[in-house]
Amino acid sequence: MAEHFDIIIIGGGPAGLTAAIYARRAGKTVLLLEKEGFGGQIASSPNVENFPGFPSISGAELADRLYDQACGLGAQIDLEEVLEVQDGSIKTVSTDYGSYSCTALILATGMKHRTLGLPGEDALSGISFCAVCDGAFYAGKDVVVCGGGNTALQDALFLSELCRHVTVIHRRTDFRGDPILVERLQRLENVSFILPAEVVGLHSQDSVLTGLVLQDTISGTRSNLAVSGLFEAVGQLPEQRLAASLVPVDADGFVPAGENCLTPAKGIFVAGDCRSKEVRQLTTACADGAVAALAACKYCSNT
């Protein structure tokens, strides 16, 4: 028979780990399932400067701390991919390792990287979505960061310390990311900007990226830029496969829920970036985790 937990949390990012902390402190049995790595996207953020109480902390350290805290409180945390969930008064969660059951389920499945969708993008080496993971491969080389959000700006700052030159390419002249990061980049001698422009093609030799085709988004003028690495930081899309099989999702694939994070499905809660909402920040992911966990605990106690 499948091992039973009061609450199963799917997703080991800040929302899921915070939910585990709150649910354990409320005395519930908790299983957290994560398919890749703990900490979600924040784990690859070079430097987090807007998490209250931590003026500056690496995303990896923050992720480790969240993981240790949830583990220390007795949450069972496993690296397993959830393949299917069967809804009912008792829910069954099937993974690539086995099956578990629970009374309440929290979906904290987060987001995945958006890609530029360029021909050859998947097959070339020299294209990365994680500056912290891959930056060292480009030490002393020229790289491009594409995007105008905080991820792109933080990545460019991180890479500027390793690479010979970093070019930030963004499709608008206004940045979506924090002005304080733009100003910091503008002061660096080995960082330049090409704005407003898009990457519209890739040059390669022997399956290795050698350059980019750029297009000015106003004039349409095209140019070539020789680079060793392209870091794509063009936002994320919700991980919707599992959610969509259980609850209604909106046109963009996010899960609508009220302020208590309860979905229309009984006993299924949603927390973090995969929830339909205005502000997607580390702090709001953690807030969702707490709210969803407390609502799920109440649901378990009343069921």
Please report, as ranges, the residues that interact with ligand NAP according to CB under 6 A.
45, 48, 50, 114, 116, 147-152, 154, 170-172, 176, 198, 233-236, 280-282
Nearer to ligand NAP, 106 or 282 (CB): 282
Local structure of residue 2 (DSSP, 8 states)? P
DSSP state of 190: T
Residue with tokens 């480009």: 138
d(CA 77, CA 37): 11
Q: How far is the CB of 22 from ligand NAP (least distance, A)?
A: 22
For 9, the enclosing helix (H) or strand (E) is: strand 3-10
| Distance in angstroms (rounded) separating the CA atoms of residues 91 and 79 | 19
Residue closer to ligand NAP, measured from CB, 31 or 230: 230
Contact 166, 146 (CB under 8 A): no
Whether 130 is catalytic is: yes
**Shortest distance, CB of residue 40 to ligand NAP, whole angstroms?**
10
Measure the CA–CA gap between 158 and 176, rounded to whole angstroms: 18
Least distance in angstroms from the C-beta of 194 to ligand NAP:
12
CA–chain centroid gap for 197, Å, is 25
> 6, 102, 130, 155: which is the annotated catalytic residue?
130
The dihedral through the CA atoms of 132, 136, 138, 140 has a sign that is positive
List 78, 133, 174, 250, catalytic entry: 133
Min dist. Cβ of residue 114 to ligand NAP (A):
6
96 or 174: whose CB is closer to ligand NAP?
A: 174
Least spacing, CB of residue 229 vs ligand NAP, in Å: 17
6 catalytic per annotation: no
Q: Closest Cα to residue 27, out of 13, 6, 10, 12?
A: 6
Please check whether residue 248 is in contact with residue 226, taking contact to mean a CB–CB distance below 8 angstroms.
no
Q: Would you call 257 helix, strand, or coil by DSSP?
A: coil
Nearest-angstrom CA–CA distance, 155 and 53: 22
Q: Does the active-site annotation cover 134?
A: yes
C-beta of 172 vs 222, nearer to ligand NAP: 172
Catalytic residue (choose from 87, 134, 142, 178): 134
Q: Which residue has its beta carbon closest to ligand NAP? A: 149
Distance CA 33, CA 26 (A): 19
Q: Which is nearer to ligand NAP, 176 or 298 (CB)?
A: 176
Catalytic residue numbers, as ranges: 130, 133-134
